[in-house]
Amino acid sequence: MFMVPRSLGVSSPEGRDVYEFFLTVESRPSILGKISDIFGKNNVDIIGIHGQVSDDKKTGFIIVYVEMSNSTVSAQELSKILKDQEYTVDVVYEERNTYFFEGFLFPLTSGGHYRVFTVGSKEWAALVKSLHNTFGSASTALVYEEGVIVGKAMIGRISSRFSSYPGESVIMKNFMLLYRAAGFGILTVRTDEERLRVRIDYPVIGKEEQVFDFFTIGIVSGAISKVYDTAYRVKDIRFNEDAIEFVLEKEHGELSTSE
């Protein structure tokens, strides 16, 4: 199966005359269709859109990126049209031709409360390489163990979303999705007798950096240990083209850096 990374982006899409509209609306069926219709009738091209509802499901929050180079109205006029709708609570907008990063969605959260941080892959690679160059193999064990702690915490958070335990396969599927959404890579895990074979496509740190990211490897090990209540040892880490592959063997949770 061919897999590609997918992202909604943390910055505005490119365009000739881009604006970001943030709408607060009453949550009801067909709202998105009505809003899209308003943009269409005024010859405004939607180039990005995201929406979600409040915890009580009564209020909707919609962020829309539009290109207005061929619009029949100004951004101010469009804002007034949207505000005049009986389902609209509020509308604010900003020009995105010179300032590209989202402002209305600060802080970036998951589930409305759990704050999420983003770090560029190049910056993360610089940090990992700096630790490796400064502390050598000692940094490997350190960042791996920290990753294990994070992985176990991720499983704890996933489990807390369910009123009753849904089973290992559901927890693991959610972990793989969260791992991907966090930008760590696309994770594949398969059972091979008493071992688990792990593959990370599109890892944060690729082969060209000439260093393994033991923090994100530790996250996988810690999460799987938590799910199956079994300590694992990491073995046979290698790059397969730009993907990371390694084996998890049942043991005492010791880290092996053998390649």
The residue range of the domain holding 195 is: 121-250
Distance (Å, rounded) from C-alpha 218 to C-alpha 209?
19
Residue 8 token pair = 């909604």
Residue 103 lies in a domain: yes
Handedness of CA 121, 48, 90, 76 (dihedral sign): positive
Average pLDDT, stretch 187-201?
90
Span 4-44, pLDDT tens digits: 555 556 677 888 899 999 999 999 889 999 999 999 999 99
Q: Among 157-166, 211-220, 240-249, whose mean pLDDT is lowest?
A: 157-166
Q: Which of 80, 115, 150 is the last residue of a domain?
A: 115
- Asked whether residue 166 falls in the same domain as residue 237, the answer is yes
The answer to whether residues 247 and 235 touch, using CB atoms and an 8 Å cutoff, is: yes
Q: Which of 67, 95, 115 is the last residue of a domain?
A: 115
Handedness of CA 205, 207, 211, 216 (dihedral sign): positive
* pTM score of the predicted model: 0.68
